[in-house]
Structure 1
Amino acid sequence: MAKDTEITKLQGDGNYGAWELRARVAARSAGLLETILGVDQAPTTGPNSKLYKAWKNRRDAATELIVKRMEDSTLTHVRGYEEDPAGLWAHLASLYADSGVGAAVRLLREFAAVKYRGGVDDMAKVMGRIRSIADELERNHED
């Protein structure tokens, strides 16, 4: 796991796409992806149950995972989401994510600029970039 000083922090529009991917991977690795995506709902067993306390711990850890990866200047936009990591995640996407036709055109241009220059390592980078563009197009289409 990366040290806090090595974590890329959300600065705004300029780095949201890369930041979102890194945060998503970190959340999956920590077992918190379902929590930030809103799939992990509060149990109905009551606030004193073990299930509820475990859910609350996941919720708090997911919020911390996201907030730790944000510059101070971006934190001002997320007040009120301290106990709602899924709402925080969606709010950040609404603020910074590319969507619509403009994003699709940008991604098409990025795809057209992908070039294979030779070598095994370069092929892996090219395929990774193509996959990244495809994933971003899919998310854009879902929006």
Structure 2
Amino acid sequence: MVFSSLDQKQRLPSTPPPSAASRTMRSNRSRDTKPELAVRRALFARGKRYRVGMRLTLPQRAVRPDIVFTRQRLAIFIDGCFWHGCPEHGRMPKDPTGYWHSKIDRNRNRDMLTDAALQQSGWRVARVWEHTPANEAVDLIVAILDSDPVKVRSASATSGTD
């Protein structure tokens, strides 16, 4: 993965000593989480087809969104409240070394850089918090898909040919 100079400057403090929090965080899944699966099932039930685990190689960096709509160039991320610092539910563990605070800040900065890189490459990005009910998340995603000018343009181009 290619990192920008901003990523290289942001070094994490030394790892905290092993603790219950560290063990719990290490065991968390990075994909196929319950919120992600709920959103994917609801999208599928509405007839939306998508890709999962698809690597997008951009000039600045490579990214792997949770859900990708390739034709509409829409990347969906289901962000965990802890890992991405949710303002409602994100809670910092007690850590005198500052490791977790730096880690979450670095994740947020990486999210912003990822969004910017995708947008510069012509992709649209939607981020959904894991606590958002699946039906609300799907309503948001479907609204973005339905408002897609590329989809409208391609549909009118194919229907107008003789």
* Structure-1-length-normalised TM-score: 0.29
**RCO comparison, higher one (Cα < 8 Å, 6+):** 2
Identify, as 1 or 2, the structure richer in strand.
2
* Structure-2-length-normalised TM-score: 0.27
